Amino acid sequence: MKLELNDFEYNDLVEDILANKEFRKLENFIHHKTDRLEHSKRVSLYSYKICKMLKLDYVSAARGGLLHDFFFDKYQGKSSTSLMKNHPKIALRNAKKYFKINKIEANIIESHMYPLNIRCKPKYAESYVVSTIDKISCLYEKSIGYTNEICFKVGKTAIYMFLFLFS
């Protein structure tokens, strides 16, 4: 299910990132059964909303959340485990290359895999929010993805059975 970005304040905060050609390439990478751009937008939007509600730095949450998976490697085979550990560093390097990043945004990106990766711990409340929303989004996206796949397979099997029985 595609995310609707109809919060004008939110859109203003992240429009330069969403307009960046390099960043938009994330759309071409599969991530948690959706694409990496869609996943990043979901994490960013909900982190922004929660941080705003909690009177935290919602601007850094929106921008750091959007950039937390700014990397172009694919999860495949044996390299998946090292990519799981290393991608926050790659994402931070890419974020710094294309945008001005503050210390909260940097920590959000670097620590978002905590506690799966304990090398970099969250230092700010905003980092904990983004890291938690990232995990919830992952579960949501995977469950939607698997449900769609199962429905597709069940539908396909039903059509074949119908054709077999009535032909």
Catalog residues that contact Fe ion under the rule CB under 5 A. 69, 134
Cα distance between the two ends of the chain:
36
In this complex, which beta carbon is closest to Fe ion, that of residue 143 or of residue 157? 143
Reduce the DSSP state of residue 1 to 3 states and report it.
coil
Nearer to Fe ion, 30 or 161 (CB): 30
Tell me whether residue 57 or residue 134 sits nearer to Fe ion (CB atom): 134
Residues 6+ apart with CB under 8 A from 20: 98, 99
Nearer to Fe ion, 118 or 163 (CB): 118
Minimum distance of Fe ion from residue 164's CB (angstroms): 43
Least Å from the CB of residue 136 to Fe ion: 11
Which is nearest to 47 in space by CA: 60, 68, 32, 62?
62
User: Nearer to Fe ion by C-beta: 105 or 134?
Assistant: 134
Q: Is the bond preceding 115 in cis, omega lying within 30 degrees of 0?
A: yes
Q: Least distance to Fe ion from the beta carbon of 153, Å?
A: 27
Specify the DSSP element, H or E, that contains 34. strand 34-35
C-beta of residue 90 within 8 angstroms of C-beta of residue 110: no
We find the least distance from the C-beta atom of residue 68 to Fe ion, in angstroms, to be 6
CA 72 distance to own-chain centroid = 13
* CB of 162 vs Fe ion, minimal distance in Å: 41
Q: Is the dihedral of CA 28, 39, 70, 82 positive or negative?
A: negative
